[in-house]
A and B are shown apart, each in its own frame.
Chain A
Amino acid sequence: MSQHGCEHDHVPVIGKAELVAQLLQLLPADCVLFEEEDLRPYECDGLSAYRQLPWVTVLPQSVGQVQAVMRLCHQHRLPVVARGAGTGLSGGALPHPNGVLLSLAKLKSILAIDTLARTARVQPGVRNLAISQAASQYGLYYAPDPSSQIACTIGGNVAENSGGVHCLKYGLTVHNILQIKLVTIEGDLLVVGSEALDSAGYDLLALMTGSEGMLGVIVEVTVRLLPVPEKAKVMLAAFDDVEKAGAAVGAIIAAGVIPGGLEMMDKLSIGAAEDFAHAGYPRDAEAILLCELDGTCEEVAEQVEQVQAILKDIGATEVRLARDEQERALLWKGRKSAFPAVGRLSPDYYCMDGTIPRRHLPFVLRRIGELSQQYGLAVANVFHAGDGNLHPLILYDANKPGELANAEEFGSKILELCVEVGGSITGEHGVGMEKINQMCVQYDSAELTQFHAIKHAFDPQGLLNPGKAVPTLHRCAEFGAMHVHDGKLPFPELERF
């Protein structure tokens, strides 16, 4: 898989021993790793099909140390790849062979919680769930809840603009942060955003959110906290037809109800989740919806009735309301463990992350089914139905020759399908290394050039996470994406390969 390495245009101007010696002047000895066995844990993120040992890994313990490392890397023109918990699913934290892997894992303090202002100021290595746990004693929580929330860091969440099952109502990471502190490639500290609701000048906070470690290293985040809803009720609805489940989602929203969470699973995922979590999911259903309604007690009671009626109207074969907190947790457990559950069905699985306008769901699922036949690989679909974010999980066996390549090709067809119906190649997992080619499908050369210009504005030498997130025009021409934009051939300015 030659295309999975980073683009190796960085020839180091300093030897490894010399670099290590210089780093040891900046950091304590146990914060600089350079032996192969110590580097091994950093060779991949959650997308373990892509592996690369870093040259050196550093684990700074203070913002000052991050700045010092950045200055050194800048001075020697060394690539820097930031890493949080390494749960990313697109190879964003894949190391550079001649670069420094900068782990923020040791910066894991919650610096302050302001209960009246409802904010928490935390270091980047703080785990997502740890914020809500620390805030819970005040009746507050941090809303974005990626399924990986036990492990993933807030720095990684900001870098990916992560979502979760509660995004439709409570927004993505970008909607729930107020301020970040960022170390530039030159080692300068920038304060972006503020504890007020807006700041003077351009919205750099939006630009930095989801920038995948390409523009700077996040060293502090101030998040907004929300009051824990007084009541949350979840119901499960079963359908004998995926199309009906999709229609039910539209009908709930059209009725003016915005559920706290609205998730869909197809038959294969239902079975897998049931085997794993024993949540009582109906195995014979073609699709289930999990709909969580939250708010004040009165509001939830009113909306539960409203939604139950809608679901029955659309033709749900079963509507089950969780009776208590325990049953609610169990219903969610099935959904939240869907990835590992599906993982037990096959030696390996490949998780896709496209978004689509929801009305195209039946067409997209049908096409995915056809592609599944064509590639001879099964696929389980888990869907953040409320916001149109599809997670098809392709089942394969990496030990069978050619099957990984086959799964990857199948995956890229799914992403291209998402773009075709007006969606995106990634809703929350990011482009990283994985979807770099599909970027050529979603964007034309002028748009990609604009992205490179943004990158250049912050990192003119291209040292931060090189080769990720935005493909070069040459790469796109090689990839040969037939992205016909307004009837024009893509990348006409480049010769064809």
Chain B
Amino acid sequence: MPANDLTASLQQQVQAAYAGKTPLKIVGGNSKAFYGRQTTGAELTVLDVSGHSGINSYEPTELVLTARAGTPLAEIEAALAEKGQLLPFEPPHWGPNATLGGTIACNLSGPRRPYAGSARDFVLGCHVINGKGELLHFGGEVMKNVAGYDAARLMAGALGTLGVLLDVSLKVLPVPQDKLTLVQPATLPAALEQMNKLAGQPVPLSASAWVDGYLYLRFAGAKSAVAAVKQRVAGDVLVDAATFWRSLRELQLPFFAEAASLWRIALPQTADQPKLPGDWLLEWGGAQRWLKTAASIEQVRAAVAALGGHATLLHGGSGSDAFQPLPAGLWQAHQRLKQAFDPAGILNPGRMYEGL
């Protein structure tokens, strides 16, 4: 086995934890430690996946890449760029050490998400170790596979509570030939409406945001298609567009600077603004809204739930109430699924919700 294939050792550690009923804290690059709750439990052992790294296979003509969970996101993006391809969900790194495993475990996607799909959408398959220390393979390296339940996509966003991701196969796409970002002043409601109107028209929209009174629209595709946008859509060309979208994705725009408590609010794209005090930044056509507010956790959650969305607290709070509580029926399904994958409750306990 190559030095960077730690499958056997990781499996042994999970088996030992299962036997001893000692909880594991799964860690990749540690870039997303601030996201979600803290893993809890007595005698917590760290399961370090970062050494389990490397690209296993990459077939540009098949649009498929498979890499070990500890592989730095940057390494994957560089390998893809060399062949003129990219990760279509434009993942946030949130730090130089971001790994593939952490990205998928958090199901994090960037500005292109509403127009291309989420991290979960591009997962084709994965190897995982479940809470009994068994090595399992779900999905595959093909675009379509409906044999068995889709446990591979279920891993996306599960924050390691259902299995330790060992490797992930992803669908990748060609880099668009050309890009263009247009900016225009707009009120929030006007921006919301325009983002959604445009998304319903055959234009190559690839990102949208409303920041500080301005609407930002990014178009990407064939050169001719992008050129044609200038005739159809109003706005000034943003010169350093790449920096803008990267800063937004990495939460590095000035908006994010002095956030005492920062909320990520997911809403139906066209939903009205929740009646909450504070500063807003919108992206994803309105499906992802960032809020800095002094409102209480309960206030935020109630306002957002009433509009059909959910709210995640990134900074502020005690860290114990990061995610929107689930309705009773769904909560029961979560507990039973956790039991199905991790009967001893040793994988990242408490990382997502208390008791999961």
Chain A residue contacts of B50, Cβ below 8 A: none
Chain B residue contacts of A470, Cβ below 8 A: 148-149
Chain A residue contacts of B121, Cβ below 8 A: 171, 174-175
- Check if B193 is an interface residue, CB within 8 A of chain A: yes
Chain A residue contacts of B222, Cβ below 8 A: 295-296, 298-299, 302-303
Given A171-B117, A256-B177, verify A355-B151 contact (CB < 8 Å): no
Identity of the chain B residue whose Cβ is nearest the Cβ of A450 in the assembled complex: B136
Chain B residue contacts of A429, Cβ below 8 A: 146
Chain B residue contacts of A427, Cβ below 8 A: 142-146
Given A207-B151, A227-B200, A357-B64, verify A202-B334 contact (CB < 8 Å): yes
- Give min CB distance, B122 to chain A, whole Å: 9
Chain A residue contacts of B142, Cβ below 8 A: 355-357, 387-388, 422-424, 427
- Check if A201 is an interface residue, CB within 8 A of chain B: yes
Query: Per-residue 0/1 for B255-280: is the Cβ within 8 Å of any A Cβ (1 yes, 0 no)?
Result: 00000000000111111000000000
Contact of A211 among B135, B149, B352 (CB under 8 A): B149
Chain A residue contacts of B224, Cβ below 8 A: 296, 298-299, 301-302
Given A197-B287, A388-B62, verify A206-B120 contact (CB < 8 Å): yes
List the one stretch of B25-33, B179-187, B201-209, B236-244 in contact with chain A: B201-209
Most buried by B among A175, A195, A301: A195
Chain A residue contacts of B225, Cβ below 8 A: 295-296, 298-299, 302
- Check if A168 is an interface residue, CB within 8 A of chain B: yes
Contact of B204 among A172, A201, A295, A357 (CB under 8 A): A295
Q: Are the C-beta atoms of A202 and B154 separated by less than 8 Å? A: yes
Contact of B200 among A115, A168, A384 (CB under 8 A): A115
- Check if A57 is an interface residue, CB within 8 A of chain B: no
- Give min CB distance, B6 to chain A, whole Å: 17
Complexed CA–CA distance, A299 and B221 (Å): 8
- Give min CB distance, A311 to chain B, whole Å: 15
Contact of B268 among A195, A257, A423, A424 (CB under 8 A): A195
Q: Are the C-beta atoms of B147 and A442 separated by less than 8 Å? A: yes
Chain B residue contacts of A184, Cβ below 8 A: 329
Question: Which residues from 146 to 163 on chain A have a C-beta closer than 8 Å to any C-beta of chain B?
Answer: 160-161, 163
- Give min CB distance, B196 to chain A, whole Å: 5
Query: Per-residue 0/1 for B129-161: is the Cβ within 8 Å of any A Cβ (1 yes, 0 no)?
Result: 010001111101111111111110110111000
Most buried by A among B117, B222, B337: B222
Q: Are the C-beta atoms of B197 and A197 separated by less than 8 Å? A: no
Given A295-B221, A423-B140, verify A201-B326 contact (CB < 8 Å): yes
- Give min CB distance, B180 to chain A, whole Å: 13
Complexed CA–CA distance, A435 and B135 (Å): 24
- Give min CB distance, A388 to chain B, whole Å: 5
Question: Which residues from 294 to 319 on chain A have a C-beta closer than 8 Å to any C-beta of chain B?
Answer: 295-299, 301-303
Complexed CA–CA distance, A435 and B146 (Å): 11
Chain B residue contacts of A201, Cβ below 8 A: 323, 326, 330, 334, 352-353
Chain B residue contacts of A359, Cβ below 8 A: 59, 61-62
Chain B residue contacts of A428, Cβ below 8 A: 144, 146
Q: Are the C-beta atoms of A200 and B310 separated by less than 8 Å? A: yes
Q: Are the C-beta atoms of B118 and A256 separated by less than 8 Å? A: no
Q: Are the C-beta atoms of B118 and A197 separated by less than 8 Å? A: yes
Chain B residue contacts of A253, Cβ below 8 A: 60-63, 174
Question: Which residues from 26 to 83 on chain B have a C-beta closer than 8 Å to any C-beta of chain A?
Answer: 59-64
Q: Are the C-beta atoms of B287 and A196 separated by less than 8 Å? A: yes
Query: Per-residue 0/1 for A159-191: is the Cβ within 8 Å of any B Cβ (1 yes, 0 no)?
Result: 011010001100110110000000010001111
- Give min CB distance, B267 to chain A, whole Å: 5
Chain B residue contacts of A257, Cβ below 8 A: 174
Chain A residue contacts of B158, Cβ below 8 A: 202-203
Q: Are the C-beta atoms of A435 and B147 separated by less than 8 Å? A: yes
Complexed CA–CA distance, A183 and B314 (Å): 34
- Give min CB distance, A360 to chain B, whole Å: 10
Chain A residue contacts of B337, Cβ below 8 A: 202, 207, 454, 457
Complexed CA–CA distance, A295 and B341 (Å): 43
Q: Are the C-beta atoms of A458 and B336 separated by less than 8 Å? A: yes
- Check if B20 is an interface residue, CB within 8 A of chain A: no
Chain B residue contacts of A482, Cβ below 8 A: none
- Check if A13 is an interface residue, CB within 8 A of chain B: no
- Check if B288 is an interface residue, CB within 8 A of chain A: yes
Q: Are the C-beta atoms of A207 and B326 separated by less than 8 Å? A: no
Complexed CA–CA distance, A260 and B201 (Å): 17
Chain A residue contacts of B341, Cβ below 8 A: 450, 453
- Check if A439 is an interface residue, CB within 8 A of chain B: yes
- Give min CB distance, B189 to chain A, whole Å: 12
Most buried by A among B107, B118, B135, B144: B144
Q: Are the C-beta atoms of A227 and B270 separated by less than 8 Å? A: no
Q: Are the C-beta atoms of B203 and A450 separated by less than 8 Å? A: no
Complexed CA–CA distance, A386 and B142 (Å): 11
Given A196-B309, A254-B60, verify A296-B202 contact (CB < 8 Å): yes
Chain B residue contacts of A171, Cβ below 8 A: 117, 121
- Check if A376 is an interface residue, CB within 8 A of chain B: no
- Check if B199 is an interface residue, CB within 8 A of chain A: yes
Contact of A161 among B150, B227, B309 (CB under 8 A): B150
Given A190-B330, A197-B113, A295-B221, verify A450-B145 contact (CB < 8 Å): no
Q: Are the C-beta atoms of A196 and B60 separated by less than 8 Å? A: no
- Check if B355 is an interface residue, CB within 8 A of chain A: no
Complexed CA–CA distance, A70 and B47 (Å): 43
- Check if A62 is an interface residue, CB within 8 A of chain B: no
Q: Are the C-beta atoms of B270 and A206 separated by less than 8 Å? A: no
- Check if B84 is an interface residue, CB within 8 A of chain A: yes
Identity of the chain B residue whose Cβ is nearest the Cβ of A224 in the assembled complex: B114
Chain B residue contacts of A298, Cβ below 8 A: 222, 224-225, 227-228
Identity of the chain B residue whose Cβ is nearest the Cβ of A168 in the assembled complex: B143
Q: Are the C-beta atoms of B118 and A358 separated by less than 8 Å? A: no
Contact of A424 among B63, B140, B196 (CB under 8 A): B140
Contact of B157 among A203, A215, A230 (CB under 8 A): A203
Q: Are the C-beta atoms of A197 and B340 separated by less than 8 Å? A: no
Complexed CA–CA distance, A151 and B147 (Å): 23
- Check if A14 is an interface residue, CB within 8 A of chain B: no
Identity of the chain A residue whose Cβ is nearest the Cβ of B61 in the assembled complex: A250
A selection of 15 A-B contacts at a CB cut-off of 8 Å is: A174-B150, A196-B266, A198-B118, A201-B326, A201-B334, A230-B202, A253-B63, A299-B225, A357-B141, A358-B61, A388-B144, A389-B143, A446-B136, A454-B151, A457-B337
B binding-site residues for A, Cβ under 8 Å: 59-64, 84, 107, 113-114, 117-118, 120-121, 130, 134-138, 140-151, 153-154, 156-158, 162, 173-175, 177, 193, 196-197, 199-204, 221-225, 227-228, 266-271, 284, 287-288, 308-310, 312, 323-327, 329-330, 333-334, 336-337, 339-341, 352-353
| Nearest 7 interchain pairs by C-beta | A298-B224, A206-B153, A256-B174, A427-B144, A387-B143, A299-B225, A457-B336
